[in-house]
Copies of this chain bind each other. A is one copy, B any other.
Amino acid sequence: MTGMNSAPQAAAHKPAPLSKQRLRLWLQMLKATRHIESRLRENMRNSYATTLPRFDVLAMLDRVPEGLKMSELSSRLMVSNGNVTGIIDRLVNDGLVVRVPIEGDRRATLVRLTQKGRETFTEMAATHEAWVDELFAPLSNDDIDCAIDMLARLRGKDE
């Protein structure tokens, strides 16, 4: 078949390489994120005998001293309601957070860090930041700014 058929792309009904490149980016992004998550998880487990989701919850609560409702936690962390229930149950069990009734609305409860929870988190957070610092060392300052901007656009937060 020497002819002109299959010419490079001709009139082209190909999926356009752009879509392949987007797919490739997505797969790389997934792989990189999983890689970093697994490193952080391993560190969390070895250094503090805890998990990443628990750390994420503590981090969110640390930012809001007055506490958060279950639904606020689940929407901010982008995980389901039922999931948060289980994680909070275990954190309560460990004495790191408490459930506080909301006066005027007996449906909802506020979840708040205990003193122990705040202290525990503070210590973990510094170490966690150092881990991230190291994992992201291969990127330059400009890389980072550029990436943050891209990610924001990806989530439709253009302004």
Residues of chain A having any CB pair with chain B under 8 Å? 15, 18-26, 28-38, 78, 129-130, 132-133, 135-139, 141, 143-148, 150-156, 158
Task: Decide if the interface of chain A is mainly helix, strand, loop or mixed.
Answer: helix
Q: Chain B contacts of A150 at CB under 8 A? A: 139, 143, 146-147
In the complex, the answer to whether A154 meets B129 with C-beta atoms within 8 Å is no
Residues of B within 8 A of A28 (CB): 147-148, 151-152
* Of the residues B25, B26, B151, contact of A29 by C-beta under 8 Å: B151
Q: Which residues of B contact A147 (CB under 8 A)?
A: 25, 28-29, 147, 150
A21 to B144, CA, bound (A): 7
Q: With A21-B141, A25-B147, A141-B21 in contact, is A30–B33 under 8 Å at CB? A: yes
